[in-house]
C-alpha cells in the first residue's frame, strides 16, 4: 500500500466568494461598502441600468434584423459594469464577444459597437486614444493578448493594467493557462476575469472541470485567485479595485472569478436555454438580480427613486435610437473592400480580383 494520502493531496483549498451586499441589499462588509461615494454609487447603478436597457433593445433590434451577432448580458451587469468601473481610461481592455457594455463604457461609440455586430469594418476603426481591441470571438484567445499587452505596459513603465474577460468554458482552453502563465512569469500587470455564468453554451460548469472553483486555477500560474459574488456590484468593484492596485504596484496578475448568471441564451443565434436549464434554477438566480440588490441599497440611502430610473431609461433609449440611425447610415460594404481588408500587403492574386470587383461596382 502506498503511504501517500492522495485523498488529502486532492483536498482543494476552500475559497469563499467575497460579498458586500446580501440578496436583500443589506451591507455585510462596511469597510468595502465605503469605497464608493454616494455620487459614484449612483453613477455605477446608472451604468448598470444602461446595460440592462442596451440588452433589451439589442435583443429587439436583432429580432428585427437590424443587428447581427448578439450575446445577451442581462444578469451580468454587476460582473461587467462594476469591474469596468474600477478601471482607468488608460487601462487596456481586451473584451470577449459578450463584453460590449464594458467596451462602450470604456470609450467606444455605441454606433460602432452596433456596426461590429453587423460585421461592418468601420466597427473596428477605433477612435484615437481608445485603449482596447475589438471583441475576441476565439474562446480564450484574449488571455494571450492580455498577457502581451500587459508586458508592454510594464516595459513602457505605464501605471496601468490590461484586463480581459472569458466565461467558465474559456477556462478549459489552452490559451487561458498560457496567458496566465506568461503574465505570471513576467509579473505583467494583467487582471483576468472569469465570468462564471454556469454554462458554456449548454454545457454546465460541473462538466467543464473537476476543480471546485475556477479561481483556484490561478495556483498553477503562481498568481492570486479570488472568487466574488458576481451579482453584487459593490463586491465586484472592491475586488477589482484591490486587484488593480496590487497589480499596478508591480506584483503581477490576478485572476478574478465572478459568480454570475446570464438570463438569456448564450447568443441569439439559435441557442435555447430552456433545453438545458430549469425554470426553478432561473427563478433562484433572478432573486439575486444585481439591479434589484442595488436598488434596495440605494433606496435605503435615499439615492434612488423609480422616477429617476425611468428618466434614465428614456435617456438611454433615445441614445440607442440615435446610435442605430447612425449605424444604418453607414456606407454599404463592397466585395472589393472585404478583399482589401484581408491583408496588410495584398497578394497579387487578390489584387487582380479586387480590380475585377471594383470594375463591376463602378457600373
Angle between helices 38-63 and 306-328 (to 10 degrees): 50
Rounded Cα–Cα distance for residues 53 and 27 (Å): 26
Rounded Cα–Cα distance for residues 156 and 234 (Å): 32
> Which of 282, 271, 289, 265 is closest to 51 using CA atoms?
289
Rounded Cα–Cα distance for residues 250 and 255 (Å): 15
- Is 100 in contact with 134 (CB distance < 8 Å)? no
Residues ≥6 apart with Cβ < 8 Å to 53: 313, 316, 317, 320
Rounded Cα–Cα distance for residues 36 and 222 (Å): 31
92-164-105 Cα angle (round to 5): 60
Specify the length of the chain in residues: 363
Task: State yes or no: is 244 an active-site residue.
Answer: no
Catalytic residue, from 266, 277, 293, 295: name it: 266
Rounded Cα–Cα distance for residues 258 and 255 (Å): 10
Q: 190-196 and 162-167: which strand pairing?
A: parallel
DSSP label of 128 = T
Rounded Cα–Cα distance for residues 69 and 104 (Å): 16
Rounded Cα–Cα distance for residues 62 and 42 (Å): 30
Rounded Cα–Cα distance for residues 77 and 48 (Å): 5
Catalytic residue, from 106, 120, 244, 262: name it: 262
Task: State yes or no: is 143 an active-site residue.
Answer: no
Q: 254-259 and 190-196: which strand pairing?
A: parallel
| Helix (H) / strand (E) containing 12 | none
Give the up-direction half-sphere exposure of residue 21: CA atoms within 13 A in the CB hemisphere: 28
- Is 323 in contact with 110 (CB distance < 8 Å)? yes
Task: State yes or no: is 126 an active-site residue.
Answer: no
Q: Which residues are catalytic?
A: 262, 266, 276
Amino acid at each position: 500500500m502506498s503511504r501517500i494520502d492522495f485523498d488529502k493531496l486532492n483536498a482543494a483549498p476552500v475559497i469563499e466568494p467575497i460579498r458586500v451586499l446580501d440578496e436583500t441589499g443589506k451591507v455585510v462588509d462596511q469597510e468595502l461598502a465605503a469605497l464608493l461615494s454616494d455620487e459614484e454609487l449612483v453613477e455605477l447603478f446608472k451604468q448598470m441600468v444602461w446595460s440592462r436597457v442596451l440588452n433589451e433593445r439589442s435583443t429587439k433590434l436583432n429580432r428585427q434584423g437590424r443587428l447581427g451577432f448578439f450575446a445577451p448580458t442581462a444578469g451580468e451587469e454587476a460582473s461587467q459594469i462594476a469591474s469596468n468601473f474600477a478601471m482607468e481610461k488608460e487601462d487596456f481592455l481586451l473584451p470577449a464577444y459578450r463584453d460590449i457594455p464594458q467596451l462602450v463604457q470604456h470609450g467606444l461609440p455605441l454606433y460602432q459597437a452596433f456596426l461590429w455586430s453587423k460585421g461592418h469594418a468601420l466597427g473596428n476603426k477605433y477612435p484615437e486614444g481608445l485603449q482596447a481591441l475589438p471583441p475576441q470571438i476565439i474562446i480564450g484567445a484574449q488571455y494571450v493578448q492580455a498577457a502581451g499587452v500587459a508586458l508592454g505596459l510594464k516595459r513602457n513603465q505605464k501605471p496601468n493594467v490590461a484586463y480581459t474577460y472569458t466565461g467558465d468554458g474559456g477556462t478549459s482552453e489552452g490559451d487561458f493557462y498560457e496567458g496566465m502563465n506568461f503574465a505570471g512569469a513576467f509579473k505583467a500587470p494583467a487582471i483576468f476575469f472569469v465570468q462564471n455564468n454556469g454554462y458554456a453554451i449548454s454545457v454546465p460548469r460541473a462538466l467543464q472541470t473537476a476543480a471546485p472553483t475556477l479561481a483556484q486555477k490561478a495556483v498553477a500560474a503562481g498568481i492570486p485567485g479570488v472568487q466574488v459574488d458576481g451579482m453584487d456590484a459593490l463586491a465586484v468593484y472592491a475586488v477589482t479595485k484591490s486587484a488593480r492596485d496590487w497589480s499596478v504596484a508591480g506584483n503581477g496578475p490576478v485572476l478574478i472569478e465572478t459568480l454570475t448568471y446570464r438570463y438569456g441564451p448564450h447568443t441569439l443565434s439559435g441557442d435555447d436555454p430552456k433545453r438545458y436549464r430549469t425554470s426553478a434554477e432561473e427563478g433562484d438566480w433572478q432573486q439575486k438580480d444585481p439591479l434589484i440588490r442595488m436598488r434596495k441599497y440605494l433606496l435605503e440611502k435615499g439615492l434612488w427613486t423609480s422616477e429617476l430610473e425611468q428618466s434614465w431609461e428614456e435617456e438611454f433609449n433615445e441614445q440607442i435610437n440615435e446610435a442605430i440611425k447612425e449605424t444604418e447610415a453607414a456606407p454599404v460594404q463592397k466585395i472589393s473592400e472585404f478583399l482589401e481588408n484581408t491583408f496588410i500587403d495584398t497578394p497579387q492574386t487578390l489584387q487582380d480580383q479586387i480590380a475585377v470587383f471594383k470594375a463591376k461596382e463602378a457600373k
